[in-house]
Chain A
Amino acid sequence: MEYLLIFIAAIFVNNVVLSQFLGICPFLGVSKKVSTATGMGAAVTFVLTLATIVTFLIQTYILTPNDLNYLQTLTFILVIASLVQMVEIILKKVSPALYGALGVFLPLITTNCCVLGVAIGVIQKNYNLLESVVYAFSTAIGFALALIIFAAIREQLELVELPKGVKGISIVMITAGLLSLAFMGFSGVDGGLKILFGI
């Protein structure tokens, strides 16, 4: 039940993009079309879950026992960067079809702050391994959901006549604000569920 709560909270209540502001760059950059948004969402889900497992293990078995917490940021970012490269190489060899679908998005993920943000976040929240994995996976789903919804809105936005000043990034921001406002309707839902299930 706790895992279900983490899942729902991470997707709707504390949506990684719309209420925690992590991963804004790809959210604005690759949301012009629903098809690319879906690809990016899938790639992030894959890398985020994998990266969180690896960084969690490194933190628990290498950094914490040796009192090396001050190397956390440095280690995590290097691990994520090399992991992305490795995934890219392996995918290329093992599954060219999947590589064709996700390949172009992979290099972009290194600088996606939601990967590093979640990796550091699960350590700060004192999650155990399974909770971390569930949290990472649901956060990524939340990212993909926000990205796809937003892409669909932007496709419609293309057809609208706009004043000169707000064209480009400005109207994109305002639209994202309205979407974020809609997601705020979910706030408190996790607390309610908690009371409902008596956790």
Chain B
Amino acid sequence: MEKLSNSLLNMTVVLTATAIVTGGLLAFVNDVTKEPIAEVNKQATTDGIVKVMGGNPNIKTDADTIENNGNTFVVYNVTDDKGNALGNAVESSTMGFGGELKVLTGFDAEGNILGYTILGHAETPGLGAKATDWFQKGGKGDIIGKNPAKNNLMVSKDEKDGKKGEVDAITASTITSRAFLKTVNEAYEASAKSAPATDCNTQPTVAAADSVNANVEEAK
């Protein structure tokens, strides 16, 4: 077969055909994968919440967006399948050493920390990135079970109101540790500000439910 010549007609036809075929193919694949991608993202959020709220897989969540001191937090009011309030899981972020540090922290109804998980970070691998395990139960900077209102959640080098911080910083990564504790403290404030998790059966009114749904849409 001869190569097509460089006539204007040929070039236009080929380019248009390419555009239509590639565009159509992409639209088709997008259509097929849209649902699974949304599903995967939703699942990731749910898994995170289950993890920081003590591991009970049968939970219901209501998302709520809270503004506090110019920062935005997503607060999930968590209830178990019987409708008992478990507490709040809060998504918060701050600037770490290398970039944004995004954390999901779980609090029980009294404000004690149930667990945390790092959703995204740009910290140095092997140093700041150790935050994933460092502050967990049994880790060197264990914060699980502490309450930001009663315990001074700062690195031990720093002090506030004459009280020394209670948490050991990650070796050679004080900035990451400070950033992490700062965002956990802020998450606590946002959690306290948010409406406490209530019984699903009695609350909320229709209008409130609508706004909650709108927030869920936004959160996606």
Contact = CB atoms under 8 A, between A and B. Distances in A.
Interface string B94-109: 0111100000000000
A194 B96 CA distance: 11
Chain A's interface size range is under 10
Interface string A55-80: 00000000000000011001000000
Chain B's interface size range is 10 to 19
Contacts of A74: 22-23, 26
Main secondary structure of the interface of A (DSSP, over half): helix
A70 B23 CA distance: 9
Contacts of A187: 97-98, 124
A188 B175 contact: yes
A70 B27 contact: yes
A191 interface: yes
A188 B178 CA distance: 13
Interface in B19-37: 22-23, 26-27, 29-30
B26 A191 contact: no
Interface string A123-167: 000000000000000000000000000000000000000000000
Interface of B: 22-23, 26-27, 29-30, 95-98, 124, 175
20 contacts: A70-B26, A70-B27, A70-B29, A70-B30, A71-B23, A71-B26, A74-B22, A74-B23, A74-B26, A187-B97, A187-B98, A187-B124, A188-B97, A188-B98, A188-B175, A191-B95, A191-B96, A191-B97, A191-B175, A194-B95
A-B pairs, top 7 by smallest CB distance, nearest first, are: A70-B30, A70-B26, A188-B97, A191-B97, A191-B95, A191-B175, A194-B95
